[in-house]
Amino acid sequence: MPRTIASHITNMITGVTKGFYFVMKAAHAHFPMEFVVKTGLVEVHNYIGQKEVHTTEILPGVTVTADKEKKNEIKVTGNDIEAVSYTCAKIHQSCRIHNKDIRKFLDGVYVAERGTL
């Protein structure tokens, strides 16, 4: 238990001094996905060719930026590693395959890179 507390404190110090980032990429076989970042929301359009828009809330203290030249990539940054990773997990879970074989249908949004700023 003391080691867990020490790790949390170390992550807090690292977050305040440097910050954390996660790069998420959209993997698709046929229908290209598009990210739209609005105030407090991330929208995923054209997931598996669906007309439905998958929206995810952004936690306070976390910023999400969509890369203009790389349309299938977003960068999630912030000082709290738990808030940043939870936002990434919510984006990943909003685009999951249901009632299909997940070994065949690999479309989704995945974390490609992570680290400190």
CA angle (75 as vertex; 41, 94 as ends), nearest 5: 45
pTM: 0.89
Please tell me the distance from the alpha carbon of residue 3 to that of residue 6, in angstroms, as a whole number: 5
Q: Work out the percent of the chain whose per-residue pLDDT is above 70.
A: 100
Mean pLDDT, range 16-21, rounded to an integer: 96
**Is the separation of the CB atoms in 83 and 62 below 8 Å?**
yes
Domains parsed from the chain with CATH numbers: 2-116 (3.90.930.12)
pLDDT score for 94: 92
Distances (CA, A) of 34 to 55, 62, 82, 115: 12, 20, 26, 24
Q: Do 64 and 42 meet the contact criterion of CB atoms below 8 Å apart? A: yes
Amino acid 84: pLDDT: 96
Task: Convert the pLDDT of each residue in 45-83 to its tens digit.
Answer: 988 888 999 999 999 999 999 988 888 899 999 999 999
Query: Under a CB-based contact definition with an 8 Å cutoff, are residues 20 and 116 in contact?
Result: yes
